[in-house]
């Protein structure tokens, strides 16, 4: 039987569900990146983690700059621009804890990421922010593996980038999702936002990979 190709892709009734469903494969891909595997297994090295945080700092600064550049004040934008959701202070605090650089040189994948973020449309930026905020879901659990790998005590520092909200994470995630759910159904726009989310999943994967092959953590996969 020939499968008809002209059937419209069913769209979930709300943006939060749509993003969750449509980026499932991208999330699975992110989980499989060697750095994330090592993180989940509790085998990541301190050097590899700090190097990664340095590149994430550049990425987050670029995303926050991109968000700030828009004059939008609608509820969805206010949510992604919420100063309490900024992750650069967490990254800076963790880097200070580890003695990492607050102004590292960007690796090749990070340079490409900064250009992609800079040129993202508003809708793509919303998708990108979804990926970053959503990553706190896994971060809540991964923080235990990080502590095991680096012999850390969360009370003394070094875990904020991965677990910025602590016990408040479920509430922070619910309120973020509520903002997405309030967006009116618009399949074409939802797809543009999904494109930004896919872009960001690719970006964080490439940034995680860029130093891994030759990097200090390569032998701990």
> Does residue 131 belong to the site contacting ligand HEM (CB under 6 A)?
yes
Q: How far is the CB of 6 from ligand HEM (least distance, A)?
A: 29
Q: How far is the CB of 216 from ligand HEM (least distance, A)?
A: 19
- Piece of 34-42, 57-65, 115-123, 154-162 that binds ligand HEM (CB under 6 A): 34-42
Residues 38 and 45: their CA atoms lie apart, in Å, by 9
Interface residue with ligand HEM among 42, 89, 104, 138 (CB under 6 A) is: 138
- Piece of 24-32, 54-62, 93-101, 118-126 that binds ligand HEM (CB under 6 A): 24-32
Residue closer to ligand HEM by CB (options 30, 113) is 30
How many residues of this chain interact with ligand HEM, rule: CB under 6 A?
A: 18
- Piece of 71-79, 82-90, 138-146, 161-169 that binds ligand HEM (CB under 6 A): 138-146
99 burial type by CB count under 10 A (0-12 exposed, 13-18 middle, 19+ buried): exposed
φ/ψ of 151, rounded to 5, equals: 50, 55
207, 110 contact by CB (below 8 A): yes
The residue of the chain with the least Cβ separation from ligand HEM equals 134
- Per DSSP, 42 falls in state T
Interface residue with ligand HEM among 204, 210, 211, 217 (CB under 6 A) is: 204
- Piece of 60-68, 72-80, 127-135, 187-195 that binds ligand HEM (CB under 6 A): 127-135
Cβ-defined contacts of 143-151 (< 8 Å, 24+): 144/42, 145/39, 145/40, 145/41, 145/42, 145/44, 146/39, 146/42, 146/44, 146/49, 148/42, 149/38, 149/39, 149/42, 149/43, 149/44, 149/45, 149/49, 150/44, 150/46, 150/49
Q: Which residue has the tokens 């800076």?
A: 92
Contacts of 99 (CB under 8 A, 6+ apart): 50
Tell which positions 179-198 bind ligand HEM, by CB under 6 A.
none
Give the tokens for residue 162.
Answer: 């991965």
- Piece of 93-101, 114-122, 130-138, 188-196 that binds ligand HEM (CB under 6 A): 130-138
Residue closer to ligand HEM by CB (options 15, 95) is 15
Tell which positions 140-159 bind ligand HEM, by CB under 6 A.
141-142
Q: Which residues bind ligand HEM (CB under 6 A)?
A: 19-20, 27, 30-31, 36, 39-40, 130-131, 134-135, 137-138, 141-142, 201, 204
């Amino acid at each position: 039987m020939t499968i008809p190709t002209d059937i419209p892709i069913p769209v979930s009734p709300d943006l939060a569900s749509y993003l969750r469903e449509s980026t499932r494969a991208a999330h699975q891909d992110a989980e499989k990146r060697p750095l994330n595997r090592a993180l989940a297994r509790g085998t990541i090295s301190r050097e590899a983690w700090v190097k990664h945080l340095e590149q994430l700092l550049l990425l987050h600064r670029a995303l926050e700059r991109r968000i700030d550049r828009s004059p939008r004040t609608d509820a969805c934008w206010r949510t992604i621009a919420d100063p309490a959701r900024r992750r650069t202070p967490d990254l800076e605090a963790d880097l200070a804890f580890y003695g990492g650089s607050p102004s590292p040189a960007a690796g090749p994948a990070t340079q490409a990421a900064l250009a992609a973020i800079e040129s993202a449309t508003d809708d793509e930026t919303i998708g990108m922010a979804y990926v970053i905020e959503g990553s706190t879901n896994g971060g809540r659990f991964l923080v235990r593996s990080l502590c095991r790998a680096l012999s850390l005590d969360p009370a003394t520092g070094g875990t904020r980038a991965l677990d910025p909200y602590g016990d408040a994470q479920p509430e922070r995630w619910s309120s973020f999702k509520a903002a997405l759910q309030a967006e009116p159904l618009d399949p074409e726009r939802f797809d543009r936002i999904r494109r930004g989310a896919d872009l960001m999943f690719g970006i964080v994967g490439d940034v995680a990979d860029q130093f891994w092959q030759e990097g200090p953590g390569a032998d701990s996969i």
